[in-house]
Amino acid sequence: MTDIGHWINGKLVPGTSGRFTEVFNPATGEVQARVALATVAELNAAVADAAKAQIKWAATNPQRRARVMMAFGALINANMEKLAEMVSREHGKTIPDARGDVQRGLEVIEVCMGAPALLKGEATDNAGPGIDIYSMRQALGVVAGITPFNFPAMIPLWKMGPALSSGNAMILKPSERTPSTSIFLAQLLQEAGLPDGVLQVVNGDKETVDAILDNDTIQAVGFVGSTPIAQYIYGRAAANGKRAQCFGGAKNHMIIMPDADLDKAADALVGAGYGAAGERCMAISVAVPVGEKTADRLIEKLLPRIEKLKVGPYTAGDDVDFGPVITAASRDRIKGLINSGVDQGAKLVVDGRNINIQGYENGFYVGPTLFDDVTTDMDIYKQEIFGPVLSVVRKGTYEEALNLVIDNEYGNGTAIFTADGDTARDFASRVNVGMVGINFPIPVPLSYYTFGGWKKSAFGDLNQYGPDAFRFYTKTKTVTARWFSGIKDGAALNFKALD
């Protein structure tokens, strides 16, 4: 069995803790590797080495750092299929979906190729007699990224690209369930010219996370995962004087108006609800048709589409629409929530609990599941299921549907399908959610905008990627300079304007 260690100072090194956790192939249910779990001492040593490497990296001019990103992007493209297979083997998502995982991360690296333009400060000459004022953006030093299992390539790339191109060193702790992709990306970065030690990949569990949060050298922490953990990391990081951007769970609603194109709405719901087995923080898990007639017609459109979905291992290629969930515990939790939906009175229209994939009976599969007549007091509505389960919550009016979204504790993404521009504009203006789709089911912004939710979906003032990422990973220094040539005045004892 393969043991996966850490990437430290440009080399693969074994763990020294003697603690490991198993890495499964979700498609087969088999253990395919063990990953080492770092001790506090291992983490602190990696940070100390990163701090030394960061000094020279920060002194490297932004354009040369951007060239490393250019070379890195080319290497990601050249290794796209290898990366996709690696993602699929540890996560279980289909190869096409895994390619998308890599591609959306690559797009952020492409923005980082233009980092010099995003790192510029401001300047005002002659702000006062002989006085110039200018600001500069400087790297924080050593920062950390703690990333989830569901996007093993994309989210590490979202973190490392802006952090590194801004001149920081990074400690990356990927999910212990999907560790291999981050290490391979680190190897590609080394090949692209990143100096050893500037990116350290340290595998671990809560002990490692707490060591990150308590290490005084680490200046900022970025996290993506569940809301309880996001709150924990944000609070502990803030208590220790660190910057933090922590992204949590979601319960994304899609409103379907009576004037919507129901074929397009149904296609959107199937893709957004069941893609990647629902293991996306931007998945649509709640459909909100307005009016009984709209709801009945929507169910009629959804049924044949859902019944055609093919579930299976990533090795089946394009013949599979989605694969397993990440672990047996996740599978059992999802099935338990489906049971609770039945027990609490929801109408189970499509039941995915008893799916059986020939030859892959031990895999972690849940079939596509559809509930109708779901109410807000049911567990399947209140909890983030993170599986291939779509709930239909019927509402009589647009205002009722809108308020359902507004009142939900999460605010990651939402969507509306309508042919009416006024309704769409009103929805986009009033809804208290960070990312909004209009006739677009998964409104993940392009990489030169920024990604982030509201309410209990996000903690911190700045979002991921785009301009916000460069603000997060740098600090502003403002310099007021005065030159005395030709200026004759005495000591100024009062606080006055420069002019």
Domain of 389: which CATH number?
A: 3.40.309.10
**Cβ–Cβ under 8 Å, residues 142 and 218:** yes
Residue-wise pLDDT tens digits, 394-424: 999 999 999 999 999 999 999 999 999 999 9
| Percent of the chain at pLDDT exceeding 70 | 97
| 8 A C-beta contact, residue 258 and residue 293 | yes
Q: What is the pLDDT of residues 355-384, one digit of tens each?
A: 999 999 999 999 999 999 999 999 999 999
Same domain, 174 and 190: yes
**Closest residue by Cα to residue 43 from 10, 4, 3, 16:** 16
Q: Are residues 11 and 110 in the same domain?
A: yes
In-domain check, residue 128: yes
Q: Which regions of the chain are under pLDDT 50?
A: none
Contacts of 165 (CB under 8 A, 6+ apart): 62, 65, 66, 68, 69, 112, 115
Residues 236 and 360 in one domain: no
280 and 218 inside one domain: no
Domains held by the chain: number: 2
Specify if 179 maps to a domain: yes
Q: Give the residue numbers spanning the domain of 47.
A: 2-248+457-479
CB 359 within 8 A of CB 375: no
- Percentage of the chain with pLDDT > 90? 94
Q: By the 8 A CB rule, do 314 and 94 touch?
A: yes
Is 444 a domain residue?
no
In a domain, 260, yes or no: yes
Distance CA 181, CA 161 (A): 15
pLDDT value, residue 418: 98
What is the distance between the alpha carbons of residues 261 and 418, in angstroms, rounded to a whole number?
A: 7
- What one-letter code names the amino acid at 223? F
pLDDT of residue 170: 98
Residues 259 and 242 in one domain: no
Q: Which two tokens stand for residue 474?
A: 């740098």
CA distances from 493 to 41, 137, 487, 489 (A): 52, 31, 17, 12
- The answer on 219 and 337 residing in a single domain is no
213 lies in the same domain as 256: no
CA-angle at 368, arms to 366 and 372, nearest 5°: 125
* Pair (211, 324) in one structural domain: no
Residue pointed to by tokens 């080492």: 36
Enumerate the active-site residues.
281
